[in-house]
Amino acid sequence: MDESGDSGQPQPGAGGTDPAAPEKGKPQRPREPGGGILMGRPFGVPVYVAPSWFLVAALITWVFGGQLDRVLPELGAVRYLVSLFFAIAFYASVLVHELAHTIAALRYKLPVRRIQLQFFGGVSEIEKESETPGREFVLAFVGPLLSLVLAGVFYVAMKFVEPGTVPGVLLAGLMISNLIVAAFNLLPGLPLDGGRMLRAVVWKITGRAMSGTVAAAWVGRALAVAVLIGLPLLTQTGGLGNNPHDVSGMDTVTDALLAAILAAIIWTGAGNSLRMARLREHLPDLRARTLTRRAVPVEAATPLSEALRRANEAGARALVVVDGHGDPKAVVREAAIVSVPEHRRPWVAVSALAQDLTDGMKISAELTGEELLDTLKASPATEYLVLEETGEIYGVLSTADVERAFVAAMARPAA
């Protein structure tokens, strides 16, 4: 199952307090997005295989091996090697599906955090939203389209091999599986590609991306319920082309479990899409200027008690260490201030509690929304010096304040 989308949005507090903080004055290199075993970087995008994939690959190998035993009993135990090849080839097809999303996203200048192959298919984590409903529609449609093209390629290849042979069975299986992937992802509910296409259509009609997300997410939840009830029912009644008399008790349990897992994934994905849309609705409210704490400049040798006295008189909540010319050199960390007992503060200089400023820790007071989050994520720290366009000190921005504002934005209902 494909859940390509904006699941890799910048997260609040990406530069928050870290027990393994970098040494003073040394910017921390952003961590590589993980999520499994790194398989490569096509088009510069890391591709990971989640540990759950190995469970599914083993399951596919076992199930397809049983089918091969009925079609090609002469294979014996070799059928499981053939089945393993099928599992790998199937997920290679899923990767092609995800690469279609990735190439389209890069074509539209949308950053892709990673591709992950996991339990029920793959995910392309696109970090930003499409700017127009037309681009959103194309971005979603290219995945199922590539799956349909692959199904056609395997169908044509079947014409050149003998039916009932290993190549013939493999090509038939890959053709059918890609048709299923395309059909399933075209279902009109988030987080599936069809849901994103429905979202684009409603967005185009109403002029509001949020309206499209709400509609597609609720259709996705309805699909989850339909899968939970309908999949076992279709198996029991022979609606999937099977003989209902051949359905055993174990088959019933397996179908119910599969339906429950699929339904849970769709329901959760739809809910996550709603939450992310709500966030984007309020993301412009995150402004560096309004979140910044007023700061007072102090020299490095100033005792902490004296610096705090000056801050209290000025109504400030942060301290910036400056040199003799008044140029900012460091930011006094709030956590360090709290850790100093009050009776020792007259004997501790602010320089002992300060973190030297790097270029990444100096940000503009005009930053807002996603640009602000991206800037903080690029240079992780606990505090940042906020500057006016003229270079004057505006104040200090704490990632703790950004986190609180981020959570508040998520909690507010959409307009």
Q: Which residues are catalytic?
A: 98
Q: Position of tokens 């199930």?
A: 63
Q: Which amino acid is at 95?
A: L
Neighbouring CB atoms inside 10 A of 229's CB total 12
Distance CA 1, CA 118 (A): 9
Cα end-to-end span (Å), the chain: 32
Q: Assign 3-class secondary structure to the chain.
A: CECCECCCCCCCCCCCCCCCCCCCCCCCCCCCCCCCEEEECHHHCCEEECHHHHHHHHHHHHHHHHHHHHHCHHHCCHHHHHHHHHHHHHHHHHHHHHHHHHHHHHHCCCCEEEEEEECCEEEEEECCCCCCHHHHHHHHHHHHHHHHHHHHHHHHHHCCCCCCCHHHHHHHHHHHHHHHHHHHHCCCCCCCHHHHHHHHHHHHHHCCHHHHHHHHHHHHHHHHHHHHHHHHHHHHHCCCCCCHHHCCHHHHHHHHHHHHHHHHHHHHHHHHHHHHHHHHHHHHHCEHHHHCECEEEEECCCEHHHHHHHHHHHCCCEEEEECCCCCEEEEECHHHHHHCCHHHHHHCEHHHHEEECCHHHEEECCCEHHHHHHHHHHCCCCEEEEECCCCCEEEEEEHHHHHHHHHHHHHCCCC
